[in-house]
Amino acid sequence: MPAWSRHRGYPFGPIRWKYSITDETLERIVRALFTSLGVVALIAMFAYPSIRTDGSAAPAATDGTSGATARPSEAPLSVVDKGAFATVGTRSFSELTRQGARISLESLARAPQTQMDGIPREFYFARLAYNGFGGFYGRGGSWATDYPKADQIFLSFIDRLLPNLDAYEREFVMQVNNPDVRRFPLLYALEVGRMSLTPPEIVGLRDYLLAGGFLIIDDFWGTREWQQFEYQMRQVLPDHQIVDLDIDHPIFTTFYEIDEIIQVPNVGQGVRGGRTYERDGIIPQVKGIHDENGRLMVIINWNTDLGDAWEWADDPYYPLKYSTYAYEMGVNFIVYAMSH
C-alpha cells in the first residue's frame, strides 16, 4: 500500500469518515460476483455455532412456539474493569436486544478502540488491533492501514449483497487480549510483517483460535515480512503447522467458486498497470493453519492486498478483476467463519 494513500490521522477521534460505493459501481461488481453465486450457501450463512467462553459450540435449542430450531441465547458477558461491554453485566445479548439496550465499547487500558452504540448485532467485521514495533501508534500502528475506509466500503457492499445478514455497518476494532473477543467469530489483521505481540496478546490469540475463532491475514509481502509473521505464529500456535491451501480447499467454494489465486496489487500499481508485486513477493500464496479437527483457524493471504481492492472498489480506474476476486474471497471468509 503506497504511503500517500494511507490514513495517517488518529483514527479514534469524534470525527467519523463516511464512505459508500456508488450504485453504478456496486451494480458492476455484483453482476460479476453473481455469475458464480450459489444459493445453497445462503442457508449456511445463518447456521454458525456460537463461540462460547468455554471453547465449545453452543447446542441447538427448539422453539416451542413455532416448532423450528431456534438459536440459543448467548452466554453472559463477563464484567471486567477495563474491558469491552463493561456496562452489559451478566445480561445476554438476547436480553439486550429485547430491551433495546444501548451499549458502548469502552477503551482497554491505553488501547485504541472505536465507539459502538446501539443494540448488539449478529455479525461484526472486527479488525484486530495488535502491537507492532513501536506499540499501537506511529510506525507500530500497522494494524490501522486502510482504516477505516476499507472496512466501511467492504461493509456497505456486504450489507447490499447479503441483506439478511444482521451485520454492524460501521468499522469495528477489537483487541485479542480482551476476554470478550470470543463474541466475534472473525478477526481481520493486515500488515503483519511488523507484528510484535505481547505475552497477553499471544495467549489471547491462541485461546481465541482454539475456541473456534477465525483469523484473516492480509497485505504483507516478501521474505522478511513472512519470517516475522511466521515467528509470531510459532509463539501463538507452536503445535500447529502452516500449510499451503490447494484450490480445492472448502474456503474457495464455501460461497463463491474460486478457481485461481490472483495477486491483488495496491491501488497505485493497480491503476497504473504493470507490476503487481511488492518487494520480493512475486508469487501470491494462500496458506492456512488448521486445528486438530481440520477446521481452518487462520487463512493467510501472502503477497497480495485484498484490503486495497475493498477500499478502492468505487474507483473506476481500479481494475474490476481485482475487486471481484477480493470480494469473493471476503464473502467466503465470512460464510466459513460463521458456519464452522
Has residue 149 been placed in a domain? yes
Q: Any residues with CB less than 8 A from the CB of 176 and at least 6 apart, and which?
A: 128, 130, 187, 201, 204, 205, 208
pTM exceeds 0.75, yes or no: no
Domain coverage including residue 223: 15-59+105-339
The CA-based diameter of the chain, rounded to the nearest angstrom, is: 61
Name which residue leads in pLDDT, 30 or 153: 153
HSE (side-chain half, CA atoms, 13 Å) at 303? 20
Has residue 79 been placed in a domain? no
Average pLDDT over residues 61-68: 39
Element (H or E) spanning 289, and its range? strand 285-290
pLDDT tens, residue by residue, 267-316: 989 888 888 999 999 999 999 999 999 999 999 999 999 999 999 988 89
| CATH at residue 213 | 3.40.50.12140
CA dihedral sign, ordered 35, 39, 41, 45? positive
Residue 116 pLDDT: 55
pLDDT tens, residue by residue, 174-189: 999 898 899 999 999 9
Domain count, the chain: 1
Supply 189's cell numbers: 489483521
Has residue 9 been placed in a domain? no
Has residue 197 been placed in a domain? yes
Has residue 67 been placed in a domain? no
pLDDT tens, residue by residue, 219-278: 999 999 999 999 999 999 999 999 999 999 999 999 999 999 999 999 989 888 888 999
Has residue 313 been placed in a domain? yes
Has residue 133 been placed in a domain? yes
Tell me if 312 sits within 8 A of 318, measured CB to CB: yes
Has residue 95 been placed in a domain? no
Residue 119 pLDDT: 77
